[in-house]
């Protein structure tokens, strides 16, 4: 059973979440590019430094590229010098789902879209960034779409 929890809650819930947007893998493949599909649906990672969103200063809202759910605001983005767009909080706790991730020989917290379950990236805590939450949502830019204000 997956260990899943909505952002901002603890301890982790052991219940399996139901998503509002559900599609077959064939439907996802037809709607997403191969690179988007790899990151969003297969929990892949884009190359560090490859996203134009990492340093983009445009004011707006970042939405899930797969389903359009608004996830992060530009005001919560900061330069973490990590190679991916970094945010210190999601737009709202129910916009993202957090899962225990023990792949690659380490313990991490995966971030998924709370509406469609697509992989977005990982969240890290206690790194000492001067942000209100001391969290770094390290998000694949390819999983986002910026809606400028």
Q: DSSP per residue over 74-135, as a string?
A: GGGEE--SSSS-EESS-SSGGGEEEEEE-GGGS-EEEEEETTT--EEEEEEE-S--SSSS-E
CB 92 within 8 Å of CB 14: no
Question: Is 138 among the catalytic positions?
Answer: yes
Average pLDDT over residues 116-124: 96
10 falls in which pLDDT band (50, 70, 90)? very low
- pLDDT tens across 97-118, in order? 999 988 878 889 999 999 999 9
101 by Cβ neighbours in 10 Å (0-12 / 13-18 / 19+) ranks as middle
Residue 17, pLDDT score: 65
Residue 48, pLDDT score: 97
Residue 18, pLDDT score: 80
Q: Is the peptide bond before 38 cis (omega within 30 degrees of 0)?
A: no
Residue 51, pLDDT score: 96
pTM exceeds cut of 0.85: yes
Into how many domains does the chain fold?
Answer: 1
Residue 106, pLDDT score: 84
CB 103 within 8 Å of CB 27: no
| CATH number of the structural domain spanning residue 84 | 2.170.150.20
Average pLDDT over residues 40-55: 96
Whether residue 137 has pLDDT greater than 60:
yes
121 falls in which pLDDT band (50, 70, 90)? very high
For residue 58, give its domain range: 4-148
Whether residue 144 has pLDDT greater than 90:
yes
């Amino acid at each position: 059973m997956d260990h899943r929890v909505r952002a901002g809650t603890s301890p982790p819930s052991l219940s399996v979440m139901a998503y509002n947007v559900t599609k077959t893998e064939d439907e996802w493949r037809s709607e997403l590019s191969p690179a988007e599909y790899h990151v969003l649906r297969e929990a892949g990672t884009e190359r560090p430094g490859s996203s134009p969103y990492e340093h983009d200063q445009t004011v707006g809202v970042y939405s899930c590229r797969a389903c359009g759910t608004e996830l992060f605001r530009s005001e919560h983005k900061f330069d973490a010098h990590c190679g991916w767009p970094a945010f210190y909080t999601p737009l709202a706790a129910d916009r993202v789902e957090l899962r225990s991730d023990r792949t690659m020989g380490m313990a991490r917290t995966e971030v998924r879209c709370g509406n469609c379950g697509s992989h977005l990236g990982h969240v890290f805590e206690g790194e000492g960034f001067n942000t209100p939450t001391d969290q770094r949502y390290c998000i694949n830019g390819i999983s986002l779409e910026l809606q400028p204000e």
